[in-house]
Amino acid sequence: MNIREQFLVPHKEKVKLSKYDPDDTLGLQKGAKVAHLLDKTLHNIDSMQYLLYASKIHAVLVVLQGLDAAGKDGTIRHVMSGVSPQGCRVTSFKVPTPEEASHDFLWRIHKAVPEKGEIGMFNRSHYEDVLVVRVHNLVPKDVWRQRYDQINAFEDLLAQSNVKILKFFLHISKDEQKKRFEERIEDPDKRWKISEADFAERKYWDDYVDAYQEALTRCNSKASPWFIIPSNKKWFRNLAVSRIIGETMDDLGMKFPKPTVDIKTLKWK
C-alpha cells in the first residue's frame, strides 16, 4: 500500500479540506497487524537515518502543521521514537522572541534547517506567518500576501541544496478537537497542556480552515509537497506519517561512503 500517493496533495490543486475525511484509515483497523507494520516502518526509518547520517549528502526536513490538538507533539514522539538523537533535531516555533521579531520572518526558520546528514522536525513552522498572522491581523494583508511567494522561494532554495522537505497537515475535525480538549481536562497528567487560548481559538476555526486551504494550495510544489493526513485516529496518523517518511528516504538512493583509509593496511597491535 503506497500511503504516500494516497495523501499527497496534487500539484496545483485548489485544496478544499471538506473533501478530505479526517476519519479515513484506508480500510485498516487498529490491531496487531497495524502495530507490526508500524514497528517495521520505524525500524526502516532508523536504518535510513543511520545511512543519511553516514553519507551526509541529504538532509530531511519534516514540517508538522495542524490546528490545536491535531497531534504534532504525539506524532514526533511516536514517529521518531526509534532514531538516534545524534542525527535528529526537533524545533518548536512559538511566538517570536524580540530577537526573532527584529529579523525577517524566515530568519529563525533558516537557522533551524537541518544540516546534511540530519533529520529536522518542525513543530509548527514558517507557515504560522500566513496562518495565525493572517487570522489575527498581526501584520497588514499586503505583507502576509507576499509571504506565499517568499516561502516558495525559500523552500526551492532548500530543495536545490539537497534538503528533502516533507510537509504534513494533520487533519482533525472540530468535534475531535473538542474531545481531545475534554480528555486533557479530565486527565491530571495532561491538564498542564490546557490554556485559555486553546478555547479562545476555536471561534476562529473557519478562519483557520480558510488560511490553511490557501497555504496548502499556494505552497505545494513538486519539490516540497504537502500531505493531508487524516488524524482523528492517532494510530493511523502515526502510521501514515512514518510510512511517508520511510518511503521518501528509501527513494533518496543513499549509499554508505567508502572508507577514508585502506582497510587492508590496518594492523592490530
In a domain, 24, yes or no: no
Average pLDDT, the chain: 94
Give pTM, 2 decimals. 0.95
In a domain, 262, yes or no: no
* Enclosing domain of residue 134: 29-251
Q: Rounded to whole angstroms, how far apart are CA atoms 45 and 83?
A: 7
In a domain, 14, yes or no: no
Q: What is the CA radius of gyration of the chain?
A: 20
Each residue's pLDDT tens digit, 115-155: 999 999 999 999 999 999 999 999 999 999 999 999 999 99
Can you tell me the mean pLDDT for 164-178? Answer: 98
Each residue's pLDDT tens digit, 85-123: 888 999 999 999 999 999 999 999 999 999 999 999 999
In a domain, 172, yes or no: yes
Q: Rounded to whole angstroms, how far apart are CA atoms 131 and 68?
A: 12
Q: Rounded to whole angstroms, how far apart are CA atoms 269 and 252?
A: 40
Question: CA triplet 82, 83, 86: central angle to 5 degrees?
Answer: 145
Identity at 62, one-letter amino acid code: V
Residue 192, pLDDT > 90, answer no
Domains in the chain: how many in total?
1
For residue 50, the domain's CATH number is: 3.40.50.300
The whole-number pLDDT of residue 82 equals: 81
Q: How confident is the model at residue 58 (pLDDT cuts 50, 70, 90)?
A: very high
Q: How confident is the model at residue 1 (pLDDT cuts 50, 70, 90)?
A: low
